Amino acid sequence: MKIGFIGLGIMGKPMAKNLIKAGHELVVLDIKKESVAELVALGAETGENAADLAKKVKVIVTMLPNSPQVKEVVLGEGGVIEGATSGSVVIDMSSIAPLASREISAALAEKGVEMLDAPVSGGEPKAIEGTIAVMVGGKKEVFDANYDIMMAMAGSVVHVGDIGAGNIAKLCNQVVVALNIAAVSEALVLAQKAGVSPDRVYHAIRGGLAGSTVMDAKAPMMMDRNYEPGFRIDLHIKDLNNVLETSRGVGVPLPLAAQVMEIMQAIKQDGCGVEDHSSIVKFYEKLANIELGH
């Protein structure tokens, strides 16, 4: 099948490559010419803009940083909406505000274009492996028709509810991930300060109730002092902004999420915004006046 793919960043590029591996033809678009060239070398075509790309395909996948970028690419001048035809489907795999998903979907519907909001979790390693988790909102029949396309990039694809529900699920995911990373940071810094090997503590507790996918992914990075971004602090701050905006809108206090947001803002001010969110540990290292190791 010929699929349009817009957004070849840390996550989007490996996801697009997995679609090619699955046998799909791609038409790609990104502001970084080198990323486009890399996909073209694998057999992809490119479009002049989003409208031109949408004219060439019936399914358009977007993987962009935040709500404003998705709105611009889909609804703006030269956007998807200008090239898409009735019966086309936009699968937005970006993590954006649920209300923005509903707004974009409503505008597309006026042209007979369907939309799924399908944000992902797993970071770059799982995007490369093709094992990301996808949380999807939209009509069940549209989900069913496009399930195989999403599964070509994923380990699990779950229909959560109507449009916007996918991004609600992603916001819930980001709360759990953020709090989990903070908890792992606190525990390992405590071990280090108390004179016990953080690595041995990690291996002692990872098989019990404290163990988690987050711990297994992030604890080794913390101890190796490897903060190459699988998911940047800046992006997690963006997600938590959406979390807190949504929580206020529906009247749900989130005191722990708000506290981790302040921690992330603090380390961003220390120049860590482009680092992996495992660098949350630096906040705790500063408080304890130690540096984590093995």
| CA dist., res. 130 & res. 15, Å (int) | 7
Kindly state the tokens that stand for 181. 């990373």
Buried b (16+ CB within 10 A) or exposed e, 50-86: bbbbbbbbebbbbbbbbbebbbebbbbeebbbbbbee
Give the chain's radius of gyration (CA, Å): 20
Kindly state the tokens that stand for 107. 């505008």
286 DSSP assignment: H
CA 137 distance to own-chain centroid: 15
- Which member of 17, 126, 170, 218 is catalytic? 170
Active site residue 111: no
Kindly state the tokens that stand for 260. 């981790």
3-state secondary structure of 93: coil
Catalogue the active-site residues.
170
